[in-house]
Structure 1
Amino acid sequence: MASYVNLVKLSVGTDDIAGLAAWQATKRAQTDDGLPRHVTRMWPKRGSEILNGGSIFWVIKGVILCRQPILRLDEYLSGDGITRCAIVCKPGLIRVEATPKRPFQGWRYLAAADAPADLPEGRQTEEPLPPELSKALADIGVR
C-alpha cells in the first residue's frame, strides 16, 4: 500500500499539455533554482505524505492529463506580504490516462490508489489528443 498522497489541481487558462509546459518555462513560474512551482494560498496539512512520493496531477479542460512529482514545499512571500506555499515540482510533465474531473477550486488530495496510471513509455511521446477529445473518450471508457 502506498504511503503517500497526491494533489490534483486545475491548470487554469491552459489549453493543452504544451501550454502548461510553456507556462512552467517562464521565469514567473520557477523557483530561484529554475524548478517549476505552483504558488497556492493554503499550505497542505498532509505535507509529509505528499513529500513521501506524491505528485501533482494537472486537470486541463476538465480532464486529468499529466502529473509531476512534487519535490518540496517552499514558503513564498507574495507581493501582498502574505506567506504562501510554493509546490515545487520535478521538471517535465508525465502523461497519464485521460480521466475526467469536475471543476473545483484550489487543490484536492488524491489517494495513490485513485490516481490515473501513467501512459506506457512508448505513448509518452505520442502527439496528445485535444483535451476535449480525451474527455469524450474517457467519458465512454476509452483511455
Structure 2
Amino acid sequence: MIHMVKLCVGVSSLEELESYRDERAHWWGADYGEDVHVHRTRMMPKRGAEMEGIASVYWVIAGAIVCRQPILRLAKYTDAEGKDYCDIIMSRDMIRTVPYPKRPFQGWRYLRPEDAPPDISANENADSLELAADLAKLGLI
C-alpha cells in the first residue's frame, strides 16, 4: 500500500475544502454518484493498484498535512480534445490528522504509510488541535 500527498491549492482551511465536496465532480462533468468527492489530476499514478480501496489522499493546506480522504478508486477521464486525466474518487469523509509540516511541491507525491501523520481521534479537544497546528507551522512537530 502507498498513500498520496497533494497540495490543496487555493484552499486556506479544512472547512473550505469540506465546502467543495458536493461540487467538485459536477464542475468537470463527471458523475460518480453523490456520496463521493472527486479530484482531477493530470497523471494516473503508476502505483494506482496499491491505492484503490486501501490508501488515502493526505491534503496539505497552508503548509501542513491536516487531513486525509480514503481513495475509493481511480478513473481515467478523457476530455473533448483527447487529453487524458486521472479522477481520484474519494470518500466524502475527511479524517483530521496530526498537523505535519510539508513544503510546497507540484503535482502529487507518494507517501509511505510509516511516514503518514496519525489520525486525530474524535474526542481530542479543539485547543489541542490548534496548538498542534501552530507547533507544526513552527516545525516543532
TM tier, smaller:
0.7 to 0.9
Q: Where does residue 16 of structure 1 map in the other structure? A: 13
One-letter amino acid matched to 2:91: K
Q: Where does residue 50 of structure 1 map in the other structure? A: 51
One-letter amino acid matched to 1:62: G
1:76-121 superposed Cα distances (whole Å, 9 cap, x missing partner): 1235431210010011210000000000000000000100000012
State yes or no: 1:38 paired with 2:39.
Answer: yes
Cα deviation for residue 140 of structure 1 reads 1.8
Judge conservation of contact 1:71–1:90 (CA < 8 Å) in 2: yes
Partners of 2:2 and 2:76 in 1: CA distance: 20
> 3-state DSSP class of the match of 1:137?
helix
Q: 1:23 to 1:52 in 2, by over 3 A?
A: closer
Q: Where does residue 94 of structure 1 map in the other structure? A: 95
State the TM-score, normalizing by the size of structure 1: 0.84
The percentage of counterpart residues that share the same residue type is 39
Q: 1:82 to 1:55 in 2, by over 3 A?
A: same
Q: Where does residue 140 of structure 2 map in the other structure? A: 140
Listed as ranges, the gaps of 5+ residues in structure 2 are none
Q: 1:64 to 1:49 in 2, by over 3 A?
A: same
Q: Select 2:4's aligned residue among 4, 7, 19.
A: 7
